[in-house]
Structure 1
Amino acid sequence: MAGSSTSFAAPKTPQVSNSPQAGRVPVLLPLPLDGAYDYRAPAEMPPPGSFVTVPLGQRMVTGVVWDRSESGDDVAEPRLKPVATVHDAVAMRAPVRRLVDWVAAYTLSPPGAVLRMAMGPSDALEPEEGRVGFAVAPDLPGLDAKDRRLTATRRRVLAVFNGGEALPAALLAQEAGCGAGVIRAMAEAGLLVETRLPARPPRPLPDWRLPFPPLSDDQRQAADAIVAAVEARHYETILLDGVTGSGKTEVYFKAIAAALAAGRQVLVLLPEIALGAQWHRRFERQFGAPAAAWHSDLRPAERRGVWRDVADGRARVVVGARSALFLPFEDLGLIVVDEEHDASFKQEEGVVYHARDMAVVRASLEGVPIVLASATPSLESLVNAERGRYRRIVLPDRHGGAELPQVTLVDLREDKPERQRFVAPSLIAALKETLVAGEQAMLFLNRRGYAPLTLCRTCGHRMQCPNCTAWLVEHRFMGRLVCHHCGHAERPPEICPACEDKHSFAPCGPGVERLAEEIAERFPDARVAVMASDTLVGPQAMADLVARVQAHEIDLLIGTQIMAKGHHFPMLTLVGVIDGDLGLAGGDLRAGERTFQMLHQVAGRAGRAERPGRVLLQTFDPGHPVMQALAAHDRDRFLALESAERRSRHMPPFGRLAALIVSAPDADQADQVSAALARAAPHLKGVDVLGPAPAPLAVLRGRHRRRFLMKTDRQVNLQAVLRQWLSSVRVPTAVRVQVDVDPYSFL
């Protein structure tokens, strides 16, 4: 996996058998429980995967009939509670059940907690009620749209049908430009008849036969290789490694077309839903119909409809965030993970897992190919390719003859911005040239809000979150100080709570809002927009802004990492990076790799069409290997240096890591449990345990946090060592011990 570069033999899931024991059936419930509970089976034994409702204490809970484990339940059969309801719904397929067991075993999570992610909306199992519709009465006595006894409005209603089938009342009223009362009155008059329509309208099917744009030789060879894997119907992981603008999306669209031609379904994972809008437009342009979307912003009815459409095969292509990995596909034929390197695929709350790696597991369990696409592949994926576990396909050139942008390092020690300003003179000059030429520019600063710190100029007091050991970030657009970790927000105080001086607070450092303020002062005639997750709420807001940029209604775009990937702006020729060193601070073992990936992706937004692009990268350390690699477009040399350093320290992907995070509402409780874990820490060959130590975020959401880091050789069964360690310490109810296998965050 990500930290170990192993294949899929690491965690051992329980041996199962599909032969039920007479009179009892195991049911896994979507609760943080360690395994399935036995219940008395109904007269007709439900097969594994059936959705059932069973009693649990004083309540009824819906779960899934699970595969029988070797251990089984020791409750005597007369004491078993009966299954209350067997739902008439599509059963959870065996590959999904095995995925639940696999994720639980790998992450050391309760299987029921993983099942909860695969269960879908709570009402998706309820019987579907048909919608009310209306049709033209079959026995109208000679009336038609020209009959003078009909009002103009009623004639419009009849004309909407035009010999067609029944329509939903709301759609009929909308098309006729009238109210629902008109429809009801026509039904009472015998002009229309009420009928029942299917509960869900048919989902438009993508047409894989539509012509594709011309592909380059490299694109065509890559597409042919992936299409062959789809048609072969066997598991294979393919790393699609292409420079920014090389046309990776067009290549895997060909593979999607092959899966659709074979009558199979496709899952596409994106790291952020903000990227979905542009992807959906490209998909619908190519296939003539939209893909189904799955993300947290869907309304309940939309989630229910997509889940059911996936289960019964109506949704042929689904694009979504992490949780789409657990959808109940009827006949999956291909998985695509776009921007596979992106850290957003790692879920840090609840069940802690990496969606990219678990997608590889699902592809293996389903027996289908998976494509990992990126311009800056993760070191883990590259090492897997070197070891022969993944097949690597390279797209070395931009499509259509476009050149990679020229990258210039701006040394902030010499090319200094003015006092209380953040844009160097050379970047200001480049912005002027770009705007005069009628082209577009982008300024990148991966820091939301106006300022990362608010400081009292009189006494030095810093505004800190009351729930976390984190500074409050000023968001001037909202008039709030906000904690980016727990969401606490408050108005900026007029009086310092420490020294009681008035109006003494000053912002320290830049955020995108402060940068936008500086740019507006320097270029008052430029049309400027800010692109950040807190200024754009939902995919539609992102789509609208992207459309405005593409229509050249915006001259200068200022934003964070959400504008760094996936976007194609033909008139954008200049990218300025305000603080290239920002991601290099701290003790994160992937800091250099992440910074390179992000800045390379940002730089790739420039010059993607016929106009050449350039990038000015502001830094205080132009000699840093990351900066040198970016300036020289020498990714492979940087990765070789990064790989050698990780190998020498036995760090992932050449060793394995796991973190334990102890948290409690009381600091003493956290310390006591941490001390007990330290005393019980394993002393084994190839295993080192570091800690406990206060986490960098020592208090988060009101809980005190301590961290352990376990480092092992690749040959060590890390999960077995962790299980043994954790089982030797009793943890009070108020204390949580979170396990993070292959950690990406070290806060």
Structure 2
Amino acid sequence: MNRDHSRVRVLLLNAALGPLDYSVPEGMHVEYGSIVMAPLGPRKIPGVVWEAERFPADEIDANKLRPILEVRELPPLSAPLRRLIEWTAQYYFASPASVLRMVLSSGAAFSDKRPIVEYQLNGNVPDRMTPQREQVFAKLVDVQGTISELAYKADVSIAVIRGLEKLGAFDRSEVSAFSNISPPQPDFAKVDLSQDQLAVSTVLRDAVKARAFKPYLLDGVTGSGKTEVYFEAVAEALRQDRQTLVLLPEIALTEPFLDRFKARFGTEPVSWHSGLKQSERKRNWQTLASGEAKVVVGARSALFLPYKNLGLIIVDEAHENSFKQEDGVRYHARDVAVMRGLHEKIPVVLASATPAIESRHQVEQGNYEQLVLPARFGGATMPEIEALDLTQDVPPKGSWLAPTLVNALEENLEKGEQSLLFLNRRGFAPLTLCRTCGHRIQCPNCTAWMVEHRLTRRLACHHCGHVMPQPDKCPECEDEDSLVACGPGVERICDEVKMLFPQARTAIVTSDTIWSPAKAADFVHQMEAGGIDIVVGTQLVTKGYHFPNLTLVGVVDADIGLEGGDLRAAERSFQQIAQVSGRAGRAEKPGHVYIQTRMPNAPVIQALVEGDRDGFYEAETESRRAAGAPPFARLAAIIVSSEDNSEAMETARLIGQTAPKVDGFNVYGPAPAPLSMLRGRHRHRLLVHAYRSVDLQHIMREWLVKLEWPRAVRVGVDVDPYSFV
């Protein structure tokens, strides 16, 4: 602590304020990282005691300082975590308080030890039923949670749940947020590794023993057993009595991972994702902060939790775009994971069958060590991949599956093997228009088309979440029976499959149907039990799943990902199709993949068919180098939004006109964003391009901090952007 023990600087959970100074009452012990409650006006808000020199401020007279009210009985935030908070705030143009909020997000740090009250339906149905009450009884079977959690899951107001609770429809129970957990056993199961796996796992075990920072790119083809390899590093961390964090890109992957983990270590790890109940979040936060939880598996937000003794970080499917957060603090979990490893002085493993070009570049620069698993485990072979030219192999009118693919599906059904059709487009159809007047149904809050979801009989906006019933007539010309669905979504492909193969058992796998780990587990169990013949899914099925009887994959429209001006479009398409292809033939039975395309000669398609991954990456990397695109230069987006378009436009122009003139630093725009309205706000964008030698953050901070704009205008900065809409 500083020499003056009677005053401290506190970083409050208030993004609008910087750190404030407080006095320390006599007899109260605080240290750097202590979680405290402090007064702010008439309120009492949480914060963390920080080193004053990290946040310089004008000295305030000691007599004017208000005292800290309370120190929470929790471990202080460690110095490495405090440095990570500072780095994340500085790099991604966020307030330190916004980053700190992710560390203390569960509320566990500020809650008392009273039990949490949860409710569950008991079968007592009230005499008077409304549509909302019927919805509650339909959606909350065997569901237990707090009133707010139940209201969210049933998609009704809290008042509806409270009303039913007063009528005796729910049983009330108290759930402790504090309980003991059984630790994983590093030697619970016998492990059978190939020579390649053994060599790589030895490197990772030694890295854990060394207790030093080292990033590794675990580069293995789909089905090569990357999970089993990094499990050996987890086992070593357990032997060292240190904690491991495993990041997964989708919560739908959590349940299958938990099953594999339990088979290896005898018990499940602690989970951290948005699907947890309040009581589970509090319990898990407490156990990882105390060091009791030895392994945590979670979504990107798990990266900022206050682990007591972290010894290893693993980022699985590290190429996934979902590791990039697109709102709030716009960080990339893959990159922040490496920085946390640096501050904690521990190894970081980035595992992927299709590594990002940025990660491969770090290997070439000598910053990461590459560990390669070149073959599938247990003698399984990579699937045969074939492109179907839709201009030659033409689907029948009104259909979307080419005859060759349909024949292959039929043969697979006859053999009793499973098939997967991949289309990265949720819903039934991406566009609904009127055949009479040509009107297209658009979201009222966004410049985006409403997507038809026939299963729920709704139109939905996939950007803001706006939902509306399917209209009976055209909203423009009021002609009845004139609305037609244009283009295919997964629901439409599934309908086509059912018409072609009425005897086949089908399943749709998207974020609309697999929204929780429990739903994912149910899907996995059905597949493993042979209860599904044909799966139709989005990118949710492209990664992490292992189904030995799945031997056929059909990519319905490989050209979708190549549309638009996204600099990562080709790379992303390659990754998605390579990943979904990797679901086929993962055991003894050989696999076959058909890629439907109108551009069979496109470099991406050719590389996939020929299995020339390295050739594709080399060509794509060279095109990035020639264009001065990441990773050879840096980008930052400036997004200006307001409910008043003229205010947004004027602010964007002000920012563009005042752009600094610095060699190697260029600003393009402003221009209306491709998605020019989102959630009722007009949007304009500027793009900053800078050489690696330029201090991007310093220049932008000096530039933007001097500008003023109307209070209703929001200006956001997205460093290393992945979305350009």
Provide the TM-score with structure 1 as the length reference.
Answer: 0.88
Match of 2:152 in 1: none
Distance 1:225 1:490, change over 3 A: same
Match of 1:240 in 2: 218
| Aligned-partner SS, 1:353 | coil
Alignment partners' CA distance in 1, 2:271 and 2:391: 47
Alignment partners' CA distance in 1, 2:484 and 2:176: 61
Alignment partners' CA distance in 1, 2:521 and 2:2: 51
**Contact 1:495 / 1:501 at 8 angstroms: preserved in 2?**
yes
Alignment partners' CA distance in 2, 1:389 and 1:51: 35
AA matched with 1:87:
R
**Contact 2:514 / 2:520 at 8 angstroms: preserved in 1?**
yes
1:69 equivalent in alignment to 2:47: no
Distance 1:729 1:199, change over 3 A: closer
Deviation at 1:197, TM superposition (A): 13
Alignment partners' CA distance in 2, 1:239 and 1:320: 20
**Contact 1:34 / 1:111 at 8 angstroms: preserved in 2?**
no
| Aligned-partner SS, 1:69 | helix
1:258 equivalent in alignment to 2:243: no
Alignment partners' CA distance in 2, 1:606 and 1:20: 64
Alignment partners' CA distance in 1, 2:176 and 2:604: 57
Alignment partners' CA distance in 2, 1:693 and 1:198: 53
Match of 2:274 in 1: 296
- Between Structure 1 and Structure 2, whose CA radius of gyration is higher? 1
| Aligned-partner SS, 1:662 | strand
Match of 1:113 in 2: 98
Deviation at 1:80, TM superposition (A): 1.3
1:701 equivalent in alignment to 2:686: no
Match of 1:637 in 2: 615
Match of 1:471 in 2: 449
Flag structure 1 segments of 5+ consecutive residues without an equivalent: 1-17, 133-195
Match of 1:447 among 425, 433, 436: 425
Alignment partners' CA distance in 2, 1:667 and 1:66: 41
Report 1:326-337 matches (<5 A): 326-337=304-315
| Aligned-partner SS, 2:82 | helix
Deviation >4 Å, runs of 4+: 129-132, 196-199
Alignment partners' CA distance in 2, 1:624 and 1:34: 52
**Contact 1:25 / 1:39 at 8 angstroms: preserved in 2?**
yes
Alignment partners' CA distance in 2, 1:650 and 1:703: 32
Match of 1:154 in 2: none
Match of 2:34 in 1: 50
AA matched with 2:543:
K
**Contact 2:116 / 2:279 at 8 angstroms: preserved in 1?**
no
Report 1:162-561 matches (<5 A): 200-561=178-539
Match of 1:25 in 2: 8
Alignment partners' CA distance in 1, 2:697 and 2:508: 44
Match of 1:38 among 21, 24, 49: 21
**Contact 1:234 / 1:368 at 8 angstroms: preserved in 2?**
yes
Alignment partners' CA distance in 2, 1:473 and 1:678: 35
| Aligned-partner SS, 1:335 | strand
Match of 2:563 among 585, 595, 615: 585
**Contact 1:33 / 1:111 at 8 angstroms: preserved in 2?**
no
| Aligned-partner SS, 2:707 | coil
| Aligned-partner SS, 2:717 | strand
Deviation at 1:21, TM superposition (A): 3.5
Deviation at 1:62, TM superposition (A): 0.8
Deviation at 1:88, TM superposition (A): 1.8
Deviation at 1:121, TM superposition (A): 2.1
Deviation at 1:130, TM superposition (A): 8.3
**Contact 1:89 / 1:125 at 8 angstroms: preserved in 2?**
no
Distance 1:206 1:656, change over 3 A: same
1:90 equivalent in alignment to 2:68: no
Distance 1:658 1:20, change over 3 A: farther
**Contact 1:38 / 1:73 at 8 angstroms: preserved in 2?**
no
Deviation at 1:213, TM superposition (A): 2.7
**Contact 2:177 / 2:282 at 8 angstroms: preserved in 1?**
no
Match of 2:552 in 1: 574
AA matched with 2:257:
W
Equivalent pairs counted in the alignment come to: 667
Distance 1:197 1:425, change over 3 A: closer
**Contact 2:219 / 2:353 at 8 angstroms: preserved in 1?**
yes
Alignment partners' CA distance in 2, 1:199 and 1:567: 32
| Aligned-partner SS, 1:484 | coil
Alignment partners' CA distance in 2, 1:732 and 1:398: 58
Flag structure 2 segments of 5+ consecutive residues without an equivalent: 118-173
| Aligned-partner SS, 1:347 | coil
**Contact 1:312 / 1:330 at 8 angstroms: preserved in 2?**
yes
AA matched with 2:75:
V
Q: Which string of whole-angstrom CA distances, capped at 9 and with x for unpartnered residues, describes residues 694-720 of structure 1?
A: 000000000000000000001100000
**Contact 1:239 / 1:372 at 8 angstroms: preserved in 2?**
yes
Provide the TM-score with structure 2 as the length reference.
Answer: 0.90
Alignment partners' CA distance in 1, 2:429 and 2:626: 39
AA matched with 1:366:
E
**Contact 2:178 / 2:286 at 8 angstroms: preserved in 1?**
no
**Contact 1:30 / 1:114 at 8 angstroms: preserved in 2?**
no
Deviation at 1:500, TM superposition (A): 1.5
**Contact 1:235 / 1:370 at 8 angstroms: preserved in 2?**
yes
AA matched with 1:48:
Y
1:674 equivalent in alignment to 2:652: yes
RMSD between aligned residues: 1.5
**Contact 1:450 / 1:513 at 8 angstroms: preserved in 2?**
yes
Alignment partners' CA distance in 2, 1:78 and 1:62: 22
**Identity fraction in percent:** 51
AA matched with 2:298:
G
Alignment partners' CA distance in 1, 2:489 and 2:287: 42
Deviation at 1:73, TM superposition (A): 3.8
| Aligned-partner SS, 2:674 | strand
Alignment partners' CA distance in 1, 2:576 and 2:175: 49
**Contact 2:177 / 2:283 at 8 angstroms: preserved in 1?**
no
Deviation at 1:228, TM superposition (A): 0.4
Match of 1:650 among 628, 639, 652: 628
Deviation at 1:645, TM superposition (A): 0.4
Alignment partners' CA distance in 2, 1:28 and 1:197: 32
**Contact 1:402 / 1:612 at 8 angstroms: preserved in 2?**
yes
